[in-house]
Amino acid sequence: MSLLDKKFKLKHIAIAGFACIALLGATVAMIEATNQSSFCGTTCHEMDPMYQTWLHSGHKNVGCAECHEKPGIEGTIASKWQGTQELFLHVTGQVPDPIKMENPQDKVNCYTCHQDKIMNTEIALKNKDPHTAKHFENGMNCMTCHSGVVHNDAVNMELPSRDRCYTCHLDAMSKL
């Protein structure tokens, strides 16, 4: 192999290396840009109602991705894949109205900020606090009672009523 051939190969390896670095940088920049709450809220008119209710909520300082994206690289990849599919629906005019998450309970990351709410059952019962580990162990999650807490102006700033408790605790609730 001649010196000219080695320089030619080295040049191609360097170009490929720079291209990979540029692609990685563009990918990271795109992930960061699409993780901004304003990205979907201002670029997709279909998301404007959700964006506006989020802006009025007590969670306006919590980014959309923090709640709607599972943590870790797998969650990021899944979220970006879903976003790509939603972009296709947007471009083809097939966005459902209203927009709903298929399984919001699977995507809720409430525990990241509210882990203090999984309380000791004895203390919780004494204080009539429903946030017991027992509820979570029996298949309930935050959205069972707090559905709409960010994207519904009617419940944004209020605690849920105890009416939801009646579905399981009718006898016990009538004694309170």
pLDDT digits (tens, 9 = 90+) for 24-53: 999 999 888 888 888 888 887 788 888 898
User: How many Å apart are CA 79 and CA 145, to the nearest integer?
Assistant: 25
Given this model, what pLDDT does residue 16 score?
A: 93
Radius of gyration of the CA atoms of the chain, in A: 24
pLDDT value at position 34?
A: 86
- Burial profile 34-48: b = 16 or more Cβ within 10 angstroms, e = fewer: bbebebbbeebeebe
pTM confidence score? 0.69
Q: What is the pLDDT of residue 104?
A: 58
Tell me: the pLDDT tens digits for 115-130? 777 777 777 777 777 7
Q: Which residue numbers in the chain have pLDDT < 70?
A: 1-6, 98, 101-108, 172-176
Separation between Cα atoms, residue 158 and residue 96, nearest integer Å? 29
pLDDT for the residue numbered 25: 96
